[in-house]
Chain A
Amino acid sequence: MTGIVIRATAAGKAANDGSMPADMLCAERRSPRVGAINTQARMVVQALRRCLEGNDGPQQEWIGLSLGTADGANGIVETSLKTAHGTGFEDVITAWYATGLPNSTAGVVASLEQLLGPNLTLLGEQSGLEAIVMACRLIRARHVDGMVAGGFDTPASDSVPGEGETAPSAPVKTALPGVGLLMLAAADDADSDLVRILGWSSDMAGGRSDDDLIAAALAVAGRTADPSSVRRIVLDGDRGDGDYRAATGPIHLIEVIGAAPASGLHAFIAHGNDGKAVCLLLDIPSSANGEIGEEQRDH
């Protein structure tokens, strides 16, 4: 048995008005281990716990965490700077620096859940899917037995539209809080009924066709197949009202898997609004039911 299996998934999405359902956040707001737990960490912890429910795979202390985020903790950066300039340095809270770093959420979550494996944070619009790819690489290279991987974002006010032309994410139409995580592990013989990730590829330059991306993912998988014969699910760069920043790709991937697509090879291709594309080559087992079209475009 080869490849990386998806043992569990969990996603959470804010409503279009930005409000988050209660079950999207873990109940704890403080912990003796890490102190205050901010919204981002509460959101990721909640999804992570769902992913690890009933985990009978790798021991939790050897599981790693790989997260992608476009905005990081820019909201805290913004608050810290506005406080220092507004009311003075004395009012800056000590914890703001550590919690304002892009990797602070991954660090807090690992501390709370005692995940002692590799702890990665990738940055950018497509980083949620890239984080999944990175987790697959680490598992395949045998650096770790299992990884929880995906994306999250809670956009900062100055990074979304309506705050002027210098907003870093000005082209994004809407930006909503969201999280999408997958529990990944090396496949074993008992995993024949689980969706597997066989290969992956990406394109930053924007010059690769979907066929090229699939061919590259097939090469990573060690498969020889005509790319045109691989079913494909394509997520366009224009997210419309459904932009959860780095969580968008993982959320959509989870929804596709949940729709029980037809068995066989599928290429999940996500084009980001930054021009970057990521392709995951999925092997859907025959135990799954349902059909998806030859090409399904969302949003």
Chain B
Amino acid sequence: MTAIAITGSSVFSPNGSTDQGFWESLVDGADRRGPWPHRALEIYPVDNVIAIPEATWATLSDAHGTTRSKRMADFLARGALRDAGLPVDGAGRVGCALGTTTACAELMELATLGAADEGATGAHQSADLVPREGLSWQGPTLTLSTACSSGLLAPALAADMIKSGEAEAMVAGGMDVLLEYTICGFNSLRVATQETCRPFSSERKGVILSEGGACFCLEPVEAAQVRQAPIQAVILGYGISCDGGHPTAPSVAGIGRAIRQALASAQVSPVEISGVIAHGTGTPTNDKVEIEAMRDVFGDVPLPPVTSVKSAIGHAQGGAGAISLLAALLSLKHGELPGITHLGEVDPALGAVSVSARPMPLEGTCLMVNAFGFGGNNCVMIVADERFLATRRQLG
């Protein structure tokens, strides 16, 4: 079986566009909340988001695209290629798979509100996020939208495209920008909190929306080793499922199926999972269902340490899964899971769960990453340090 290596990554987040800045935001405990600076209405009950600072957006002035989504996609795709040491013109049989929840609606929103940039027209402008300017993708390209699982599902599907021989390497990830529509929607659903986001806490009251994304460069482990590219992590397997139930509420059975598929495809047993980057939105329903689903699959095996990055940097929607995957890569690098900022008291109703406000040391090198989305979309990925793969190969 072809193992897929992650050899490059890029990030654009409320705390900048470097791995170091992103990791700091997960562990420094800072409160980055504030009102959305672009709101056109004054009347939303909750205006409590973690936005990318305007100064950070200004760093994308050289990126191609007529909207912020497209400029971010351009920046992230090139950044992942550059980090992997591959040509940034996309030469070779390299493809690109990007996930988003609502970035495709950005131009529609701008047009509806009369704020679209001049020249932001054309059918090709509307939905497809894959950057084109100066890039010559010779592998598959696609823009995926499975709500908030998009950013994790895109790399998962990209790994399959490499395994099938359609591409030598893939750039894949997810992103979203804050929109009036999104803020209006989460207010309407009454799932946005006016306080801090506290996944798995007895004091949790909901989601804090944010924006940003991450991209990765994937290629076969053997190809990475041949060109001596540093391997940040290895994708061992993934699972995808659909709840087939409520449009917005998660399901234990649906998430459980994705976890089981992921473990099976990775050929990993629950006891080998040393940590979980949970979807962890901080809504009572999501947290409860996510823990129940993991417990259902893990059975008698105690759950490993669980964390969520949304306490620190909010819920970047279609970018969230990719951001969680990047958090997993950096956790492997640092040998610890970031704590849950603002955690407070752990919800006793969740049972025995290993969560902490402080970083938790990793006792292994294999992590599970969860991302779930409206529409009942679930994606679970198993990633590991390169050493995990080497040990497995030694054991035959």
Contacts and interface: CB of A to CB of B under 8 A. Distances in A.
Interface of A: 33-35, 61, 64-65, 69-72, 74, 77-78, 80-82, 84-85, 88-89, 92-104, 106-108, 110-111, 114-125, 127, 130, 133-134, 137-138, 140-141, 143, 156, 158-159, 163-172, 201-202, 204-205, 207, 219-220, 273-276
Contacts of A219: 165
B374 interface: yes
Given A96-B188, A103-B145, A219-B165, A204 B132 contact: yes
Q: How large is the interface on B (under 10, 10 to 19, 20 to 34, 35 or more residues)?
A: 35 or more
A74 B108 contact: yes
A60 to B, nearest CB: 10
A116 B186 contact: no
Most chain A CB neighbours (cut-off 10 Å) among B110, B127, B153, B182: B127
28 contacts: A33-B245, A77-B102, A80-B185, A85-B41, A92-B188, A97-B186, A98-B375, A101-B374, A102-B102, A103-B146, A104-B247, A111-B244, A117-B242, A119-B242, A119-B375, A119-B376, A123-B127, A130-B142, A138-B160, A159-B108, A166-B111, A166-B114, A166-B121, A169-B123, A169-B126, A170-B122, A205-B138, A274-B122
A141 B188 CA distance: 40
B374 A103 contact: yes
A80 B180 CA distance: 10
B143 A119 contact: no
B264 to A, nearest CB: 11
Contacts of B114: 166
B141 A204 contact: yes
Contacts of B244: 61, 110-111, 114-116
Contacts of A134: 142, 157
Interface string B116-141: 10001111111111101001111011
Contact of A125 (B102, B124, B146): B124
Interface in B82-108: 100-102, 104-105, 107-108
B166 A220 contact: yes
Nearest to A64: B242
A121 B105 contact: no
B242 A84 contact: no
B143 A78 contact: no
B373 interface: yes
A116 B142 contact: no
A220 B105 contact: no
Interface of B: 40-41, 43-44, 100-102, 104-105, 107-114, 116, 120-130, 132, 135-138, 140-147, 153, 157, 160-161, 163-166, 180-182, 184-190, 240-248, 254, 257, 261, 373-377
Given A110-B376, A122-B142, A168 B248 contact: no
A101 B100 CA distance: 10
B146 A77 contact: no
A120 B110 contact: no
B181 A100 contact: yes
B283 to A, nearest CB: 14
A120 to B, nearest CB: 6
Contacts of B373: 103
Contact of B125 (A35, A140, A168): A168
B376 to A, nearest CB: 6
For the complex of A and B, 4 pairs with smallest distance between CB atoms: A107-B375, A97-B185, A274-B124, A119-B242
A96 B113 CA distance: 18
B121 A170 contact: yes
B143 A89 contact: no
Given A81-B112, A94-B189, A166-B111, A70 B127 contact: yes
B284 to A, nearest CB: 18
A223 B265 CA distance: 28
Given A159-B111, A168-B120, 5 more contacts: A78-B112, A81-B181, A99-B247, A116-B254, A124-B143
A135 B37 CA distance: 41
Contacts of A276: 124, 128, 141
